[in-house]
Structure 1
Amino acid sequence: MDFSADTSGLYRFLAERESAVIAAAISGVHDATDHLLATSRNEAPLKTGTLRITAGKKVTKENGQIYGEVFYSATEEGSSGVRFNYALRVHEMGEYKSPTTPGTRPKFLSRPLRTNERLYQRFINDAIRRALR
């Protein structure tokens, strides 16, 4: 016994909406990175404000993939005169013994990313669903 199904209508439907779906996915990634940027900024130390000022985000589409990036680019000069990545150092510290601002903490970027991972997936999925309607 053979079974067959005509899927040409489905393929036409998907082809017609491909650009809308890609645009929606990009929009969803923007929403997710905006949220992560805001959340992580609130947790980043505020002693001088350097970390929060240098934070940013970027969304790109390359080779059929959509990438969202949140970054902190603070660098400082150490006592030896060598510049180092201050953002990375503060992110990877152990618990702050006396944070200058209550509610700030190390892992200010990775912690909110892990905590909100499902929310960010939902941002992207919901945007794509809307594009398919």
Structure 2
Amino acid sequence: MDFEFRVDELHRFLEAKRGAMVEAAVSGLHDATDRLLADSRDMAPLDTGTLRMTAGKEVTVKGAQAYGEVFYSATEEGSSGVRFNYALRVHEMGPYKNPTTPGTRPKFLSQPLKTNKRLYTQFINDAVRRAMG
């Protein structure tokens, strides 16, 4: 009994689908970063709303790599007159003693990323699978 697998046909199939798969992966990365942005905004403190308003996301493609980023860019001026990264400070501080909004917490960006990593990866995997047909 013989078994034959035509690797050249597989290569042709993958080459024909390459563009669609890359586009799909980038689309899935957009979906994943959109979801992470929404999840993290729900956990971010809401005292004045500045922190949530400065949140954003960006997906970039450089060569064969696609990168998704969710960011918070709130800055404030300290008592010394020096500006500091308020978003980073609030993210890294210990537990809130009296949160202004229930459900908010420190680590508002890293916590949903850790908790939902599989879901965010699934967005990308599903998009690529759909592109492969």
Q: Give me the TM-score of the superposition, normalised by structure 1.
A: 0.96
After superposition, give the CA deviation of every residue in 1:7-27 in whole Å (9 maximum; x if it has no partner): 111011000010000000001
After superposition, give the CA deviation of every residue in 1:31-90 in whole Å (9 maximum; x if it has no partner): 000000001001000001011000000001112101000000000000000000000000
Which consecutive unaligned segments of at least 5 residues does structure 2 have?
none
Letter of the 1:47 partner, please give it: D
Which consecutive unaligned segments of at least 5 residues does structure 1 have?
none
Letter of the 1:33 partner, please give it: T
After superposition, give the CA deviation of every residue in 1:75-117 in whole Å (9 maximum; x if it has no partner): 0000000000000000000000000010000000000000000
Cα distance in structure 1, aligned partners of 2:38 and 2:109: 10
Query: Helix, strand or coil: the match of 2:102?
Result: coil
2:132 matched to which residue of 1?
132
1:61 matched to which residue of 2?
61
1:82 matched to which residue of 2?
82
- Give the C-alpha shift of residue 4 in structure 1: 7.2
Cα distance in structure 1, aligned partners of 2:86 and 2:96: 15
Query: Helix, strand or coil: the match of 1:122?
Result: helix
Query: Helix, strand or coil: the match of 1:99?
Result: coil
1:71 matched to which residue of 2?
71
1:109 matched to which residue of 2?
109
Cα distance in structure 1, aligned partners of 2:6 and 2:123: 32
Q: Which runs of 4+ in 1 moved over 4 A?
A: none
Please say if 1:26 is aligned against 2:20. Answer: no
Query: Helix, strand or coil: the match of 1:13?
Result: helix
Letter of the 1:28 partner, please give it: G
Query: Helix, strand or coil: the match of 1:57?
Result: strand
Please say if 1:122 is aligned against 2:122. Answer: yes
Equivalent pairs: percent with the same residue?
70
CA-atom RMSD in angstroms: 1.1
- Give the C-alpha shift of residue 6 in structure 1: 2.9
Pairs aligned (count) = 131
Cα distance in structure 1, aligned partners of 2:36 and 2:88: 17
